[in-house]
Every structure is written in C-alpha cells, then in structure tokens.
Chain A
Amino acid sequence: MNKISRVAITEYLTAVRSKAFIIGIIMLPIFMFGGLLVAQFAKDKVDIKDRKFAVVDRSGKLIATLSEQAIKRNQNGIFSNGVDAEKKQIRPRFILETFVESDGKSDGVDLILSERIRKKELFAFLIIESDALDADGSKGPRISYHTETPTFTDLPNWIEQVINDEIRRHRFLEANVDQALVQKLTRHTQVKRLGLTGVSATGEVIKAKEENKVLTFALPAISMFLLFMLVMSSAPMLLNTVLEEKLQKISEVLISAVTPFQLMLGKLIGAVFVSLTLSVLYLGCGIFFLAKTGTLSMVPGTLFVWFLLFQLLALMIYGSIFSAIGAACSELRDAQNMMFPAMMLVMVPMFTWMPVLQSPSSTFSRIVSLFPPATPMLMMLRIAIPPGPPWWEIALAVILTTGFMLACVWASAKIFRIGILSQGQTPSMKKLLGWLISR
C-alpha cells in the first residue's frame, strides 16, 4: 500500500506541477463553454449589409403589404434594445424592389433576376403567382423564393410570415369575418410550466414552482459535459505517461521495485486525484457562482455526491484501459490506433445524450444509461434531470459500473504486467487475449 501511495503521490505531484496542468485548468472551461461564449459574442456580430430583394407580384395584392412591412421592420425591428442613443443595428435591412414585367410577359424573368443575383445587384427574388391568394393548395406552392445564399434564412422566414398574415387577413375579409373578432379568437394562449405540488412537514401544501430552464436543461448538460471533460483530461494522460516510461526504459527500474499492479494502481489513483483536484476547483467555482446569484438552493446537494462517484468510476474504467494500451504498445502511432475502439466507448454518451435529455425515462434512455462504459455520463445526466430515475436504476447502474470497472482493472493489470516489459511489435488483439488468459 505504501508503494502504491508513493507512485500515486509522485504521479499526482508531477501532473499538477506541470505547465500542461495549469494550461488545462484554463483550457477545459474554454473547450466546454467556449462555443457558448463565442455564440454569445458573435450574436451581435452578424452581417448587417442590406439585403435587397426583388418581388414579382403577379397577383398584385401582396406587394404593398410586403413593402409596408419592410419599411416598418427597417425602422423598428433591426436594432438592439436600449435607449435611442445606445441603439445599435444588429440585423440587416430588407430593401424591396418591385419588378414589373414588361408588357405582361413573364418569360425569362427568372433568368434576368438570377443574373442580377450573380452580379450581386440583388440578394434574392420572389415570384408571387396570380392565384397565390386563392389557391386551394392542389397546385402546390404558388410563391417562390430564389437566392444563391440559401443558408441565410431570416429573409425567407420574414417573407413567409408577412405573406401568410396578409393572405389570412384577406381570406377572413372575403368571408366577411370581423377582423377584431378574428384577432380575439386567434389570440395566442400561453401555458405556464410548473413542477409538482407538495406537502410540508407541518402538513401545509407547498405550491408548485415554475419550471426553471437552467435546472431542467443547463444543469444536466453541464454536469455531463463537465464529467466528460474531466475524464478526458485525465485518463488519456495515463496512456502518455505509461508509454513514455516504457519508451524511455524507466518501467524496468520501476518494476524491479514495485509489482506491475502496484505501479498501474498507483498511476490510476494519481490520475483520479488530479481529476478530483480539477473537480473541486470547478465545482467550487460553480457553487460560488450559484451562491452569488442566489440559485444554489435549486441544485440538490446529492448531485455533487453522484458527480464525484461517477467521476471516480469513469476514471478507473478509462484510466485502466488507457494504461493497458500504453503498456501494450511500443510506438505512439500504434497506441493511437489502439485508442480508437476505446474512444468509441468514451463517445457513446456524446452520441446519445440528446434523446436521453428529452426523454430520460424512455426505454432507450434506460438501456443506454445502464451500458457500463456510458453509465457514468448518462446516468449523471438522468439524475440531474428532475425528478431523476428511480433509486433501483441508480443502484443497478452503480453495481454494473463497479463490476465493469473491476473487470477493466483486472484485464488491464494482466495486459500491463506483460506489456510493460515487452519490446518490438505491438501485439495483435489475439495476442492481447492470450495475455489476458495467461497465468
């Protein structure tokens, strides 16, 4: 035990004293939240260049509304919120150009306007057929939007909304329905989203609280991704250190003093503590932030316990697998090839977390979160989504994952024992299986 702790302490101190660790502390949140920060920062950095579009209105009934709404939008709908002095344009203006077909001839209009788009004189053009308002739908869409930049959807979405509102108004008008009545009858009704009503210890009814979007979506996602990033920042590190020791012939000196199992376990424990240090740091910052914003009470305390437990299990599983790969290989390139199947296992939660988030109690979510390599991340996700899975599912998940972890450590120790001193060609899968069953 003393030797295991000596290896673990050395591994831990070597890791936390390295520049890579300090850089990692900063980089991990950047990787995790960088996308959101960039999206937030880039939100106002959109291209606000005017979008000029031509309209060919063969019905003659929509052009006026489109023109009027475009002017209104350009005056009021393209600026950031704030007092007038602080107002800043954050959306492009939509400039409408009425295109009149010469002598009522429609042939070649598409081509002419397309050519103008290619010359950058226009951004898009719209063709409204003469029967667009009264079409029963049997002829298909009677309004077409053309552009060479289909990824910019603001303009077609806006056009669609304005035209639909106008057509609807037209139809009610033709049916002699009072507009005021239409507005009253079609008013949008909001649904208030609440949790459950409960009873306090004194027997008082506790009213249901309004749904908190942070609690229901952000917290589970952050928990899972933080866990994933913490595991990924520590477990693959073991592959590098083991392989480095093997390539630099340090392993033989170490193995003369400790057993391969002591060495591997010491390294694993060292990596666990490195990861836990990061956890304490990030969770501490998170708790501080929540306390400052008065939202700490929304996060159940047990969530932190589950987080640390699943972090431990995930690190032991993937740490032992990566250690064994490092020990088995004699070249970095071979190790990278061998890492691929292990990485596929690590990535299972990344491929499946969205459906689990949306339906945490579905059969799919249950099955995939009980698949041991994915359990730490996905069960963490499910626990963080109120009300969480039933207790027996969590217990089963912990039992299955602990069993899988022990199997991984056992198998990795077998491979590590033989691989750490083997030289030359990296073993095939068949040979690795042979190492597993060797005495």
Chain B
Amino acid sequence: MVLLSHCKRMNDQRTSSVRLTNVTKTFGNHTAVENLSLEVPTGSIYGFIGPNGSGKTTTIRMILHIFHPDSGEIEVLGTASSRAANDRIGYLPEERGLYKKMPVRRVLTYYATLKGLSGTDAKNSIDVWLERMGLQDWASRKVEALSKGMAQKIQFISAVVACPDLLILDEPFSGLDPVNLEVIRDAILELKQRGTTIIFSTHDMSMAEKMCDFIFMIYKGKKVLDGTLDSIQSAYGEDTIRLRLNGGGEHLQGLEGIKAVRDMGQYQEVRYSGDPQELLQRLAAKGRVSLFEITRPSLHDIFIRIAGPDAKEVS
C-alpha cells in the first residue's frame, strides 16, 4: 500500500477543529438550521446523520463559508473569518462533479492548485493518490472514459489531494463496490491517523457506527443527537431485545410491554418496557427460545425512532 507520507502529520493543538455556536440559517420562510451548536474535536471522525432535507448540507456549506449564517458564530480551524481556512479543507460533495472532457490529471491539478498547491506539489500528491487508488494508468485519459467507481475515486482524490486539515465527506461510499469501498475507507482512516479531522455525512448507519468517533444528528434543522455512539446508545437505554423463537414472531403478539417489533429475517428486534426476565419466562412457556440478547438500540433504530413516521415532533 502506498502511504500518504507526502502529507505532513498534523500537530494541531486545538481541541476542536469546527465550532458552531447558536447558528441559524433561513431561506425565505424556511428555517434550514435553527440555533445549532456543535463542536468537532480535532483528529476525530465526526458523523453527520439526518434524513434528507434536515439541514446537513446547509450546515456543511456554512462550515465551508459557502453560506453565511443569519445569526450565530462559526469557527473553522481556529479562524472565524470567512473562507480563511478553506484551503485547508477538503470537500467531497454528495453530488459528484468532474469535467468530463478533461484528462484526469488536468482536473486534479486544477482542483489542487485552487487549494493553493504549487504545480510541483500538486503533481507529487496526484501521483501518490493515483497510485494509492490504482489509477496511475488513467492519468492522461479523459474523465468520461472512466467507470463510475473510478470516477468516484477521482472525486475522492480531488477532495484529499491538498492534504487537508479538515475533510468533509458527504456520502463518500455511495455507488462503490466492496473492494473500492475498502480502498476509500482505508484512506480515510489513514488520514485520520495523520491527524486530519473528518466530518462524515452519511445515511449508512452501520458505516457511521463502525467509523465515527462522534455522531451528530440533525432533524428539521435542529440538533437531536450529539456525542459518542456509546453515550447516545446509553441515553436510549437497554430496552432492545434480540430474540429468535421457534414459532417466529407470532408468539410476540399480544404480549404486554412490547412497544415495537422489527423482523430482521433471522431474528426479531423488540423494544420492551418491563423486566426482560419476565418476558423470557413468558416466551419460554410458549415455545423454544434459541436467541435472547439484551442489547442497546442500534444507530439505525435510534434514527428511526427520531425521524421515522411514528416519531414525535422535535421540540
């Protein structure tokens, strides 16, 4: 594997790379982000989750100073001044955009030099990243000749080519096959090891659980979750039980204390209020129980509880 030795190891003494304080942004009558405060610790992977239209992209654009907040303060990489830090931020938007008629190297050189790299540094960095992604033979080919996966990797390189201190990735894995997904994930983790702070916006809850040090959820413009996965799951309590019954989910019907049942195919996930031992006894009386695991709710489950159709209005 090609190591990213050309990127200097970060030695940032700041505790947080991004700090938003009481930030509000409206578009006409619509409030996209309301009174939002958050702090992204330096060197962490910070997961942004939330349903479509909840305010994730608006928040990211405010961090990039593309949008200015109506009120509140934003500090990025130690500076509050507009765009001063942008050369140190890498950004991979959800909707990818590359010049189809341009050769790969020219596109990457353009993006790299816009981020302040000299021609020589840009060339070195592009060479390293193309080799890392296995695309060195495609450098002189036009973007339109690339497969979707290759184009995704080129887009990723365009975000990281300038060795950013802060990397904002909006759905970095969408459309990637498992092999390419591994390549990108390894690169992200290596960047993290070198001290890069990563904001990672995704709808893939399992990926967020695996990769993120912190999870932030925004819903209808308001912060509804912010913390480590552990703290979030703890806050939602151990009310989730995974079980596998011989008679399937039918035995669960009509049992007192069961709030919701999700059939996962091989097992059922149950939200239960009451004593789990009592439930186990009642189910054992009805038939054979081959799995009974008291667990914490998954991020996916928490997401659905907050933003699903049965969710209560966010206050």
Contact = CB atoms under 8 A, between A and B. Distances in A.
A187 to B, nearest CB: 70
Nearest to A245: B97
Contact of B93 (A3, A10, A253, A258): A253
Nearest to B63: A256
A250 B66 contact: no
A255 B102 contact: no
B236 interface: no
B87 A255 contact: no
B113 interface: yes
Contact of B114 (A6, A245, A421): A6
B97 A249 contact: yes
Contact of A252 (B89, B97, B114): B97
A7 B114 contact: yes
Contacts of B83: 259
Interface in B125-167: 158
Interface in A241-289: 245, 248-259
A6 B110 contact: yes
B110 A421 contact: no
Contacts of A10: 110
B102 A248 contact: no
B162 to A, nearest CB: 9
B64 interface: yes
Contacts of A258: 114
A248 B113 CA distance: 21
A295 interface: no
Interface residues of B, number: 24
B97 A248 contact: yes
A73 B102 CA distance: 66
Interface in B93-121: 93, 95-100, 102, 110-111, 113-116
Contacts of B216: none
B100 A6 contact: no
A248 B93 CA distance: 12
A80 interface: no
B86 interface: yes
Contacts of B114: 3, 6-7, 254, 257-258
Interface string A1-12: 011001100100
A257 B95 CA distance: 16
A14 interface: yes
A253 B66 contact: no
Contacts of A259: 83
Task: Give the interface centre of B89, B97, B99 by most chain A CB atoms within 10 Å.
Answer: B97
Given A6-B110, A6-B114, A252-B93, A257 B66 contact: no
B91 interface: yes
23 contacts: A6-B113, A14-B99, A14-B102, A248-B97, A248-B100, A249-B93, A249-B95, A249-B97, A250-B97, A250-B99, A253-B111, A253-B158, A254-B114, A256-B64, A256-B89, A256-B91, A256-B93, A257-B86, A257-B87, A258-B114, A259-B83, A421-B61, A421-B66
Given A10-B110, A253-B111, 7 more contacts: A6-B110, A14-B102, A245-B97, A249-B95, A253-B91, A254-B114, A256-B66
Q: What 8 pairs across the A-B complex have the smallest Cβ distances?
A: A249-B97, A250-B97, A249-B95, A256-B91, A257-B114, A252-B93, A256-B64, A10-B110
